[in-house]
Amino acid sequence: MISMKQTAFRPGDRVVLPPYGLGIVSGTCQHTRSGEGCWYYQVDFPESGHLALVPTHSPDQAGLRPALRQRELRALRQALERGQLELARQCSSRQRQVNEVLRLGQPTQLALLIAELYRWQRQRPLPDLDRQALRQAIRLLQQEVSGLEDSQALAIRDFLLRATASLNE
What is the pLDDT at residue 3?
32
Burial of 95 (C-beta count, 10 Å sphere; 0-12/13-18/19+): middle
User: What is the pTM (predicted TM-score) of this model?
Assistant: 0.83
- What's the pLDDT score for residue 116? 97
Domains and CATH numbers, the chain: 14-66 (2.40.10.170), 70-167 (1.20.58.1290)
Q: How far apart are CA 58 and CA 119, in angstroms?
A: 38
pLDDT along the chain (169 residues), means of 10: 54 90 92 85 92 92 91 94 93 95 92 97 95 96 90 96 92
pLDDT value of residue 147? 83
Which residues, including other chains, have CB under 8 Å from residue 47's CB and lie 6 or more apart? 21, 22, 143
Spatial contact of 2 and 124, defined as CB atoms under 8 Å apart: no
Give the pLDDT score at 7: 56
N- to C-terminal Cα separation, the chain: 55
Element (H, E) at 66: strand 65-66
Nearest residue to 48 (alpha-carbon basis) of 18, 14, 20: 20
